[in-house]
Amino acid sequence: MALLKIAEPGQSPLPHQQKRAVGIDLGTTNSLVASTRGGRTEVLLDAQGEFMLPSVVSYADAAGPVVGAEAREAASEHPADTLVSVKRFMGRGRLDSTEEAERSHYRLADNSEGMVRFVTASGEISPVEASAAILSVLEARARETLGGDIEGAVITVPAYFDEAQRQATKDAARLAGLPVLRLLNEPTAAAVAYGLDSREEGVVAVYDLGGGTFDISILRLHRGVFEVLATGGDTALGGDDFDAAIVRWAQELGELGQLQGGQYRALLALARAAKEALSSAESTTLDLARVVPGAAPLSLDREQFELLIQSLVKRTLRACRRCLRDAGVDEVDNVVLVGGSTRVPLVREAVAESFARQPLADIDPDKVVAIGAAIQADILIGNRPDGDLLLLDVIPLSLGLETMGGLAEKIIPRNTTIPVTRAQEFTTFKDGQTALALHIVQGERELVSDLRSLARFELRGIPPMVAGAARIVVTFQVDADGLLQVYAREETTGVESSVTVKPSFGLSEDEVTDMLQASYSYAESDKLARQLAEQKVEAQQLLEGLHAALAADGSALLSERECQALHEKMSALAELLAGEDLPAIRASADSLGRASEAFAARRMDRSIREALSGVSLETLDKRMDKEPGQ
């Protein structure tokens, strides 16, 4: 006879209540949202039954941004106020963006510092705000479909995104009010979508050619563990460049002369349509009269189109070869195609030839990333207690520090598995030097001037010593999202300084707060109430976690006195939670958190020992798996 289960007072009697989690593919050209319901992961549709939301935001109307197909239609009429491919500007400074902006006929604000801003009819808009507008539309779609607020989102980014671009993406989610569970690399998401369904094993290459970016990743799949071996790509290469190649060809051949902003957009639209048509047809016609009245139509066949894009496709293949070498593998078991641009027949043929494999494309290449992200979101939020999935990702670009003479010292090389912590020792170069300026950079080149500047901070208060006597340890820590924290500590005195890297081309904390306030017009008291609520949730989480941990391991891993001490602090915090004293709750939770750290560490140490005693079993059945073939 089954025993009846009775929940402890205060605990949820419904342990498997599903939380609302989504995966979002925030793309250069289109964005999608997907979710898992009733065991099936699907992309969510809008009221018109469409799953793709064009990543276009129009600020032509001061009443507020218009997002999607409607905004795209307005593009040729209001080119400067309609932001397309805004993802290309995320985390970028003004100087990096001028060429791109000119091509798109945007007006840039002249802030020389911080992230680029567009001047529109609705005022200055940052790429983060435009991305937040896109996310808000997807969030609203998900809320309607799933019947309630979204409790967690996994948002995908190109594997090749740098620190500034990742941080900008996270800021956009914050602005849109979406709780981010994780930033996930797009190729990894695609591998999850394929790997989990088919229980795939072996080495997989994910070839992801989107509208604006190209990513290649090599992963090893093993029983639900997705280990990224290497990743590479090009942040400025995608299907948009195919369109641009057609535009240049048409401009020249059709003798169209200098084009105005709206005309350029119209020609671009023709080029895109021609490219899409050539995925199935052998030839197509560009009706140039729609760009310049009276211009003769131009015919484009597939052969000519392939000539135009050949060098671009070759560039992607070279990146693939480098990535294979970085991964240390000679061949792959499978190739997965992601991104709308992989519909181009030449791309498919070239990939198949290069990897000597027919690529997989069973899942719609437009949907596969969002679906993988939704699966990961479902697991991270705790909807699949038995969901045996683990993603081990890498950093795409090396992280380092500027040293003497404008050279960079790499602290963490690219393709290092995250999370990662690395320390390096530095010293002072002048007698009596009391401060050290740290300049954090990202990229592969040797000269700092060729690298992306991430952040600067200073370690002050070093006691005067002779040059070379101070021992300054700089520690870089990258978390599972690929975001960096840097600590510096002078070892002889213990002077410390740290920075959560807010990229030079990011938004400052104040800017984000201002934007949040502008969008919700928070009163000061609302802000406090919100902070209190957040702090209480976190404290509650801490208490619940500790209760469970103590019940499981308290007697085995703690002395009676240690146990007693923790219980006292827990009761103190529980009592404070009944009240409204934010600083006291915060202090008490901090103190409990610190006091319980040793216990948590002992539990993890034990995990290490147990993990390995369990491993011998896995090794054993691994051998058994192999037996028949040997």
Residues marked active site are found at 25, 87, 186, 208
Q: Is 296 among the residues that bind other proteins (CB under 8 A)?
A: no
Angle at 24 between CA 21 and CA 25, to 5 degrees: 160
Piece in contact with other proteins (CB under 8 A), picked from 43-51, 70-78, 525-533, 603-611: 603-611
Amino acid identity, position 26:
L
> Which class for 384: exposed (0-12), middle (13-18), buried (19 or more C-beta within 10 A)?
middle
Residues 362 and 193: their CA atoms lie apart, in Å, by: 11
Query: Which member of 310, 403, 492, 541 binds other proteins (CB under 8 A)?
Result: 541
- Which of these segments, 74-82, 457-465, 522-530, 598-606, binds other proteins (CB under 8 A)? 598-606
Q: Is 98 among the residues that bind other proteins (CB under 8 A)?
A: no
- Draw the binding track, 174-213, toward other proteins (x: CB under 8 A; -: no contact): -------xx-------------------------------
| Angle, alpha carbons 172-225-233 (nearest 5°) | 50
> Nearest-CA neighbor of 399 among 508, 483, 507, 509?
483
Give first-to-last CA distance, the chain, whole Å. 47
Q: What are the residues whose beta carbons fall under 8 Å from the beta carbon of 306, sequence distance 6 or more?
A: 346
One-letter identity of residue 136: S
381 binds other proteins (CB under 8 A): yes
Minimum distance of other proteins from residue 482's CB (angstroms):
12
Nearest distance, CB of residue 313 and other proteins, angstroms: 13
How distant, in Å, are the alpha carbons of 116, 229, 242, 439, 587 from that of 31? 22, 27, 20, 35, 42
222 binds other proteins (CB under 8 A): yes
DSSP, res 447: B
614 binds other proteins (CB under 8 A): yes
Lookup: tokens for 288: 């140039």
**Partners of 360 in the β-ladder:** 336
Q: In whole angstroms, how close is the CB of 538 to other proteins at the nearest point? A: 7
Chain centre to alpha carbon of residue 537: 26
91 with 167: CB under 8 angstroms? yes
- Report if residue 538 touches other proteins, rule: CB under 8 A: yes
User: Which residue lies nearer to other proteins by CB, 143 or 222?
Assistant: 222
Q: Does 601 bind other proteins (CB under 8 A)?
A: yes
Q: What are phi and psi of 505, to 5 degrees?
A: -105, 25
CB of 338 vs other proteins, minimal distance in Å: 21
Residue 251 binding other proteins, by CB under 8 A: no
Residues between 100 and 119 that touch other proteins (CB under 8 A): none
- Within 10 angstroms of residue 479's Cβ, the number of other Cβ atoms is 14
| Cβ nearer to other proteins, comparing 441 with 542 | 542
Residue pair 212/88 in contact (Cβ under 8 Å)? The answer is yes
CB of 426 vs other proteins, minimal distance in Å:
15
H or E element that contains 495: none
- Could you give the CA distance from residue 235 to residue 87 in angstroms, rounded to a whole number? 10
Sole binder of other proteins in the list 248, 460, 530, 622 (CB under 8 A):
622
Residue of 8, 11, 25 lying closest to 372 (CA atoms)? 25
Of 75-83, 249-257, 259-267, 415-423: span binding other proteins (CB under 8 A): 415-423
Cβ-based nearer residue to other proteins, 518 or 533: 533
Min. distance of Cβ 319 from other proteins in angstroms? 8
Among the residue ranges 58-66, 247-255, 287-295, 416-424, the one whose residues contact other proteins (CB under 8 A): 416-424
Regarding 624 and contact with other proteins (CB under 8 A), the answer is: no
Q: How big is the CA angle at 189 (ends 442 and 443), to the nearest 5 degrees?
A: 10
For residue 20, state whether it binds other proteins (rule: CB under 8 A): no
Per CB under 8 A, does 399 bind other proteins? no
Stretch that binds other proteins, among 122-130, 133-141, 302-310, 477-485 (CB under 8 A): 477-485
418 binds other proteins (CB under 8 A): yes
Residue 536 contacts other proteins per CB under 8 A: no
Applying CB under 8 A, which of residues 144, 287, 618, 625 lies at the interface with other proteins? 618
CB of 191: closest distance to other proteins in angstroms?
15
Query: 521's torsion region: left (phi>0), alpha (psi -120 to 50) or beta?
Result: left
DSSP state of 36: E
Least spacing, CB of residue 549 vs other proteins, in Å: 9
Tokens 């009697």 found at = 13
Q: What are 216's strand-pairing partners?
A: 207, 232
**Site membership for other proteins, residue 420 (CB under 8 A):** yes
Q: What is the C-alpha separation between 163 and 329, in angstroms, rounded?
A: 27
Please identify which residue in 228, 313, 336, 380 interacts with other proteins, judged by CB under 8 A: 380
Alpha-carbon distance 312 to 241, whole Å?
Answer: 8
Of 526 and 618, nearer to other proteins (C-beta) is 618
**How many helices (H) and strands (E) in the chain?**
16, 26
Give the DSSP letter of residue 30: E
Burial 310-344 (b: 16+ CB within 10 A, else e): eebbeebbebbeebbebbebeebebbbbbbbbbbb
Residue closer to other proteins by CB (options 128, 436) is 436
Task: Tell which one of 142, 391, 451, 585 touches other proteins (CB under 8 A).
Answer: 391
Does residue 387 belong to the site contacting other proteins (CB under 8 A)?
no
Select from 77, 444, 568, 581 the one that contacts other proteins (CB under 8 A): 444
Q: SS3 string of 162-214?
A: CHHHHHHHHHHHHHCCCCEEEEEEHHHHHHHHHHHHHCCCEEEEEEEECCCCE
Find the shortest distance in angstroms from Cβ 316 to other proteins.
10
Residues 31-70 that bind other proteins (CB under 8 A): none
**Residues near other proteins (CB under 8 A), total:** 58
The one among 73, 96, 124, 227 contacting other proteins by CB under 8 A: 227
State the Cα–Cα distance between residues 44 and 153, nearest whole angstrom: 14
409: contact with other proteins by CB under 8 A: no
How many whole angstroms separate alpha carbon 441 and alpha carbon 451?
6
- Region of 37-45, 99-107, 428-436, 589-597 interacting with other proteins (CB under 8 A): 589-597
- Nearest by Cα to 21 from 117, 140, 144, 149: 149
In the bound complex, what is the minimum distance in angstroms from residue 13's beta carbon to other proteins? 19
Helix (H, G, I), strand (E, B) or coil at 605: helix
The CB-of-192 to other proteins minimum distance in angstroms stands at 12
Please choose, out of 6-14, 56-64, 385-393, 510-518, the segment that lies near other proteins by the rule CB under 8 A: 385-393
Residue numbers at the binding site for other proteins (CB under 8 A) = 181-182, 222-223, 225, 227, 234, 315, 318-319, 322, 325, 380-382, 388, 390-392, 416-422, 444, 475, 477, 479-480, 487, 489, 496, 498, 538, 541-542, 545-546, 593-594, 596-597, 600-601, 604-605, 607-608, 610-612, 614-615, 618-619, 622
